[in-house]
């Protein structure tokens, strides 16, 4: 029976966790369920993180609650959780424990696609509490966060009318709140800073972050989302409380244009689903250091492992992208635009610089029909040229047209030898749309097609379950610079701590026209970026996207050979990641390793700053660093930069002088390897070595 002495239980839990022993309920043997709970108000059940710092508690009063402490101090006060089924049954009301079990897991995961690192340590303690009524609560505690999920073992299909997810905080803290105005959204929002009391009926997407005393950050998100609506966030019914908000299932929709399917009426439920299943994780990443928010891969660890056996064809890399620069190719003997000659030119550009992919974005097909092409496009000729130059094609599609023509369209892409699809304008996260994402992932995998979800909700771990889903948008990215000033340096050093925590981010960097704050203007057909050239280069190290865009025109890149040479070599996946220094909304300095080479990327907001880096993590030996740093006039002319070569050792300290909106990018190579490379000539590609030869692309492990 659960103990009546919670203080002693908590103490034992912390000691046990520190020793790596899973916490067991009194009277429970390892791996065996505890006896049923006693009547009359059982004590809460706890689970501690492996290092003992975080403790999650399941409360068993009139209603199920969860709470979290960090080093004995409250992070989350007891917060009601539950699910309401059709007919009014509430899972979590007056809970009666029928069994409880614990387990400790410490394993190494080796991702198919190395977004942050080649090896992911999956280390947690877990408690499963089974209740009378056919449901259970699973709670995990990691060193960098906690999460819970419901599981049901009910017959047939069930209808979920509502889910209660609450976050009760200890005070009226500041929340970073990507506010939405409708469930119809691309989730490309600024992070507003609000007091919790100011949230009220307003709502936001996830992830969202609460700032706790002493600088502790708690980021709310979800993971392993399947056959269920995505969660948003709004104000709770009691002071200092936030709660989950879910779009109800669409009842009536109306298609406007080819892409905007507007929900006119909704059902009185959020999901109809299998009665026996596990539901999405409700997760809190808890960080005492801002750097932890950039280093964590908690969402990946919580996601379901892939069942795909054949993954050798999944090849990350850079993409030459046409839409952002409006196909503004110049200095060529043809009229640039959405036509065969322009895309052959993109293919040649990619082949010359070891870039494995190009995208054919909007315009290649008559809207509403993926089985046809516009008159100016000869897909057979483009596909043949791409095959001959060993460059892969990625086809942009509107989601609704793909939904209506999925089988024949994907089959046609396969016949053309296409390597991936970019699916755009979903703008929803109700259960129907969440299921659409998985259907696309399954059908694409059958044809060995990579997937980029644009116009998308935040990642929830689909990229682990379906590793060919390489990236997602759902971010206020560089495309905004075509019509607004929202893609600012402040945004650049804010969203990674929250949105990128959820998974890969299709920010689409790479502008070669770089403007100081006073000079920036949004220009749709000839766009520029805010901040310096080095700010853009650094994004390729700081931002995680295994399918990473080169947003500018081949003509602009050819005018900047030093920048292009760096970008064409930068990896898009990594063996190791270290965040050297970071502060939300102010600056980020990240180091990543690919093979023997290290890359450093640094970003700042509109505040100029000097940052001193300790290089002891480089290890023994002598190194050569190719560096790109803001030039002395970068604060006035964003294109000003210095390109230099430095001799370094691990005993050195490197000072970064960042201009307003500035950046720093470097590639650090062992000196012997740098000498050998100079003798043999540079390699190109996406950090993979020699130029790729599509379609037979081996998968590095």
pLDDT at residue 673, as a whole number: 79
Q: How many domains does the chain have?
A: 2
- For the chain, the average pLDDT equals 92
Confidence grade of residue 10 (pLDDT, cut at 50, 70, 90): very low
pLDDT at residue 44, as a whole number: 79
pLDDT at residue 501, as a whole number: 98
Indicate whether 368 belongs to any domain.
no
* Per-residue model confidence as pLDDT tens digits over 639-681: 999 999 999 999 999 999 999 999 999 999 999 877 777 666 5
Omega before residue 541 within 30° of 0, cis: no
Indicate whether 319 belongs to any domain.
no
Burial of 268 (0-12, 13-18, 19+ CB in 10 A): exposed
Assess contact for 465 and 483: CB atoms under 8 A: no
Confidence grade of residue 346 (pLDDT, cut at 50, 70, 90): very high
Closest CA to 460 of 476, 477, 472: 472
DSSP line for 202-261: -EE-S-EEEEPGGG-EEEEEEE---SSPPPEEEE-SSTTEEEEE-PPPEEEEEEETTTEE
DSSP line for 156-180: EEEEEEEEEEEEE-SS--EEEE-EE
* Per-residue model confidence as pLDDT tens digits over 493-529: 999 999 999 999 999 999 999 999 999 999 999 999 9
Percent with pLDDT over 90 in the chain: 89
Pick the last residue of a domain from 280, 302, 324.
302
424 flagged as catalytic: yes
pLDDT at residue 27, as a whole number: 29
Pick the last residue of a domain from 250, 267, 302.
302
* Per-residue model confidence as pLDDT tens digits over 393-403: 999 999 999 99
* Calpha distance 256→240 (Å, rounded): 40
* Per-residue model confidence as pLDDT tens digits over 121-131: 999 999 999 99
Q: What's the CATH number where 654 sits?
A: 3.20.20.70
Alpha carbon of 36 to those of 27, 61, 127, 329, 332: distances in Å? 10, 15, 15, 71, 78
Indicate the pTM of the whole model: 0.91
Burial of 282 (0-12, 13-18, 19+ CB in 10 A): buried
* Calpha distance 382→360 (Å, rounded): 10
Q: Which of 143, 290, 424, 626 is an active site residue? A: 424
Burial of 566 (0-12, 13-18, 19+ CB in 10 A): buried
Indicate whether 138 belongs to any domain.
yes
Q: What's the CATH number where 233 sits?
A: 2.70.98.10
Indicate whether 469 belongs to any domain.
no
479 flagged as catalytic: yes
pLDDT at residue 98, as a whole number: 97
Indicate whether 396 belongs to any domain.
no
| Domain around 231 | 6-302
Confidence grade of residue 692 (pLDDT, cut at 50, 70, 90): very low
Angle at 343 between CA 338 and CA 346, to 5 degrees: 130
Indicate whether 318 belongs to any domain.
no
pLDDT at residue 97, as a whole number: 97
Pick the last residue of a domain from 302, 321, 337.
302
Question: By three-state DSSP, how is residue 501 classified?
Answer: helix
Q: Which of 261, 322, 479, 640 is an active site residue? A: 479
Indicate whether 373 belongs to any domain.
no
pLDDT at residue 43, as a whole number: 73
pLDDT at residue 41, as a whole number: 58
Indicate whether 489 belongs to any domain.
yes
């Amino acid at each position: 029976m659960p103990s009546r002495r919670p203080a002693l239980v908590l103490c034992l839990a912390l000691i046990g966790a520190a020793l790596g022993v899973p916490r067991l309920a009194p009277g429970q043997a390892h791996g065996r369920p505890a006896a049923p709970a006693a009547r009359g108000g059982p004590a809460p059940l706890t689970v501690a993180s492996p290092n003992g710092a975080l403790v999650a508690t399941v409360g068993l009063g009139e209603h199920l609650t969860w709470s979290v402490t960090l080093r004995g101090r409250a992070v989350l006060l007891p917060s009601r959780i539950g699910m309401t089924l059709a007919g009014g049954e509430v899972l979590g009301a007056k809970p009666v424990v029928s069994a409880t079990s614990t387990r400790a897991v410490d394993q190494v995961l080796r991702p198919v696609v190395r977004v942050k690192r080649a090896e992911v340590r999956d280390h947690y303690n877990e408690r499963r509490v089974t209740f009378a009524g056919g449901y259970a609560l699973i709670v995990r505690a990691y060193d960098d966060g906690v999460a819970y999920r419901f599981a049901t073992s009910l017959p047939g299909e069930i209808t979920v009318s509502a889910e209660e997810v609450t976050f009760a905080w200890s005070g009226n803290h500041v929340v970073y709140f990507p506010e939405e105005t409708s469930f119809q959204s691309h989730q490309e929002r600024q992070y507003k800073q609000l007091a919790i009391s100011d949230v009220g009926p307003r709502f936001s997407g996830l992830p969202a972050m609460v700032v706790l005393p002493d600088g502790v950050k708690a980021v709310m998100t979800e993971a392993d989302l399947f056959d269920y609506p995505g969660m948003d966030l709004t104000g709770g019914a009691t002071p200092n409380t936030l709660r989950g908000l879910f779009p109800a299932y669409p009842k009536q929709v109306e298609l406007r244009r080819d892409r905007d399917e507007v929900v006119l009426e909704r059902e009185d439920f959020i999901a109809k689903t299998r009665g026996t299943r596990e539901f999405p994780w409700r997760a809190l990443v808890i960080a005492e250091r801002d750097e932890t928010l950039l280093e964590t891969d908690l969402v990946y660890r919580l996601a379901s492992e892939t069942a795909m056996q054949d993954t050798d064809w999944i090849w990350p890399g850079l993409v030459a992208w046409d839409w952002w620069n409006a196909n503004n190719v110049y200095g060529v003997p043809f009229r640039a635009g959405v036509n065969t000659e322009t895309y052959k030119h993109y293919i040649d550009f990619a082949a010359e610089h070891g870039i494995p992919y190009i995208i054919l974005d909007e315009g290649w097909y008559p809207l509403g029909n993926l089985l046809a092409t516009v008159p100016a496009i000869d897909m057979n000729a483009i596909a043949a040229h791409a095959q001959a130059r060993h460059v892969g094609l990625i086809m942009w599609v509107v989601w609704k047209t793909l939904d209506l023509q999925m089988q024949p369209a994907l089959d046609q892409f396969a016949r053309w030898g296409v390597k991936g699809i970019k699916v755009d304008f979903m703008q929803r996260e109700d259960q129907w749309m969440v299921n659409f994402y998985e259907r696309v992932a399954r059908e694409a995998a059958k044809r060995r097609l990579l997937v980029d979800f644009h116009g998308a909700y935040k990642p929830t771990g689909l990229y682990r379950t379906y590793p060919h889903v390489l990236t997602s948008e759902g971010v206020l990215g560089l495309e905004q610079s075509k019509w607004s000033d929202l893609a600012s340096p402040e945004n650049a050093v804010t969203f990674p701590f929250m949105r990128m925590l959820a998974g890969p981010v299709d920010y689409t960097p790479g502008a070669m026209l770089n403007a100081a704050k006073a000079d920036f203007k949004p220009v749709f057909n000839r766009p520029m970026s805010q901040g310096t050239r080095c700010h853009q280069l650094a994004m390729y190290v700081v931002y995680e996207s295994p399918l990473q865009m080169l947003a500018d025109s081949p003509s602009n890149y050819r005018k900047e050979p030093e920048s292009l040479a760096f970008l064409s070599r930068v990896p898009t996946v990594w063996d190791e990641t270290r965040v050297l220094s970071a502060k939300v909304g102010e600056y980020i300095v990240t180091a990543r390793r690919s093979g023997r080479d290290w890359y450093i990327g640094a970003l700042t907001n509109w505040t100029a700053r000097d940052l001193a880096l300790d290089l002891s993590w480089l290890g023994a030996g002598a190194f050569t660093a190719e560096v790109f740093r803001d030039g002395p006039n970068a604060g006035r002319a964003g294109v000003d930069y210095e390109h230099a070569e430095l001799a370094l050792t691990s005993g050195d300290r490197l000072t970064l002088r960042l201009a307003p909106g500035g950046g720093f990018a470097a590639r650090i190579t062992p000196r012997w390897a740098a000498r050998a490379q100079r003798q043999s000539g540079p390699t190109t590609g996406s950090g993979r070595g020699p130029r790729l030869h599509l379609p037979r692309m081996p998968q590095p492990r």
